Amino acid sequence: MKNIVKTCFLPVLLALATTGCNKDFEELTINENKPNSVPASLLLNGILNDAFEAPNGQYEAWDQYYLNNYDYYGNNRYDFGSGTIYYTTLKNVGLMESQARTAGLDAVNPYEALGNFFRAYLFTRMSLEMGDIPQSQALQGLAALTPAYDAQKDVFTQAFTWLESANTDLASLIAGGTTTVTGDIYFNGDLKQWQKVVNTLRLRLLLSLSKKTAEQDLALASQFAAIVNNPTKYPLMQANADNMQYVYIAATNNFYPNNNRNFGQDGSRKNMSATYVSLLTRLKDPRVYMTCEPARYSVDNLKQSATDFASFVGADAGLDLGEMYNNAGQQKYSFLNRKRYFSTLTGEPSIQIGYPELCFNIAEAINRGWVIGNAETYYTAGIQASMLYYGIPTNGNLTASFYRPGSTDVTSAANYDTYTVPFSFSDYYAQPTVKYAGGTTGLTQIVQQKYLALFRHSGLEAYYNYRRTGVPNFTTGPGTGNSGRIALRFQYPTSERTANTANYQDALQRQFGGNDDINGVMYQLK
């Protein structure tokens, strides 16, 4: 009987041994005790977090909103290094799409549509920082270890194609009854909201090429007009509720850049910039009460009212850091509003792509003659939407809260002085400096108001608008470095010099005379 059992088991053992030998190296190295694949929903969640641009980093100094006055924490120099790279995130975009298909979703599915959005969003973001970048040959792994650099024009052209496809596929999905996606932290999966974001981003990118209107093959004006004039096909944001904004949750956001745990670092080691504050005070704009505090030197020594616009003072970004630090120590500058930004661990929503900016982009396009419409209507709507974000009433009283000198607890409401400030939007708008004037003056007004609306939002978008239009005037000096110039681009990653040498050098020669020059003028700006 034992011999019979051995004989029966022998073929089975041989079969198992043969099967084991046939496994390739990758199969043999799989750890079955750990997850070996990630669902598309989880990849989407990671992509959204990777793409988020938080406030309070170096970007705010380069936007000339909020400056460093203590070099231990940073400086205000425009000595740009390497730009931000999103190729790993973009690789996850492709993996997200493949995982969606593996899970049995159709070729046209929410993850595929959003994948096209992220390609457009992240490739153009890298290009706006550096110029030409690898795109068409990127992300191919061993098949293309040294990808060629695509011209910036081609990067944007491809982005417009991806966004058109994303809009078309989202419309198809929504019409077919698929209206949600899992893993979305911005809109709780609402694809209708994402479709608005797709088209709003496209208008931003079209306008970013405003210096290239003469290049007829780009069809910038006609593309812009086609979107604005056909809201059924190309839905756009209609209110602040449509903002693509990162919302912090109290239980999990203790690392928000501004909170009472890092008050000692940011409360006085940084101060407001004159580029931002002076524009607000010149326009007698109530947003200064919400984002800033009065300079205590002006209030306590000069005996000015805490709500007097003259009491709000920003530092010149070009000032030597030692001098700025000394002035800040004497309380001669306004600081970031403690009540708004430091009294809680819960950060305010950070807009990545928003309705106020959209309004100003459409107003600018009308001003430039790209589309027929009333620029003033959009200009006014943009201002009001930005003020509404801060809770400023159209007509009524707003409450301003400023930290009381000598207090030691930013979380205690008792340590803030509160002021009731009456406000009338119609009176504000009636000022010659605010009321839309049309023409060149009107264009300046639009970009100025966009700058105010972008405070603490959308990463480097304020810098990009300055770089493209010269509005508002960014100041320079010893503190900004770079020989008194605002840098025009970031450098390529240092790894490109050795890992992709020929293509790297070709891209530099084609664009910047062979130098990885932070003052080089990229295609978009010529």
- The pLDDT score that the predictor gives to residue 12 is 39
Would you give per-residue pLDDT tens digits along the chain (526 residues)?
344 433 444 443 334 444 445 556 556 666 665 555 789 999 999 999 999 999 888 999 999 999 999 988 899 999 999 999 999 999 999 999 999 999 999 999 999 999 999 999 999 999 999 999 999 999 998 899 999 999 999 999 999 999 999 999 999 999 999 999 999 999 999 999 999 999 999 999 999 999 999 999 999 999 999 999 999 999 999 999 999 999 988 756 655 666 666 666 667 889 999 999 999 999 999 999 999 999 999 999 999 999 999 999 999 999 999 999 999 999 999 999 999 998 888 888 999 999 999 999 999 999 999 999 999 999 999 999 999 999 999 999 999 999 998 888 888 999 999 999 999 999 999 999 999 999 999 999 999 999 999 999 999 999 999 999 999 999 999 999 999 999 999 999 999 999 999 999 999 999 999 999 999 999 999 9
- Where do the H-state alpha helices sit in 397-456? 425-430, 439-453
Q: How far apart are CA 317 and CA 365, in angstroms?
A: 30
3-state secondary structure of 148: coil
What separation in angstroms does the CA of 202 have from each of 124, 164, 197, 235?
Answer: 11, 9, 9, 12
- The pLDDT score that the predictor gives to residue 199 is 98
Residue with tokens 């706006």: 128
- The pLDDT score that the predictor gives to residue 27 is 60
- The pLDDT score that the predictor gives to residue 10 is 40
Q: Which one-letter DSSP state was computed for residue 184?
A: -
Q: Which amino acid is at 60?
A: E
- The pLDDT score that the predictor gives to residue 466 is 98
Q: Which of 323, 321, 269 is nearest to 481 (CA)?
A: 321
Q: Which one-letter DSSP state was computed for residue 276?
A: H
- The pLDDT score that the predictor gives to residue 346 is 82
Q: Which one-letter DSSP state was computed for residue 147?
A: P
Helices (H) and strands (E) in the chain, counts: 22, 8
What separation in angstroms does the CA of 7 have from each of 4, 14, 18, 20?
Answer: 5, 11, 17, 21
Q: How far apart are CA 361 and CA 245, in angstroms?
A: 18
Q: Which of 423, 366, 415, 374 is nearest to 398 (CA)?
A: 423
Strand partners, 351: 245
Angle at 86 between CA 465 and CA 511, to 5 degrees: 60
Angle at 188 between CA 187 and CA 190, to 5 degrees: 65
- Where do the H-state alpha helices sit in 209-273? 220-228, 263-269
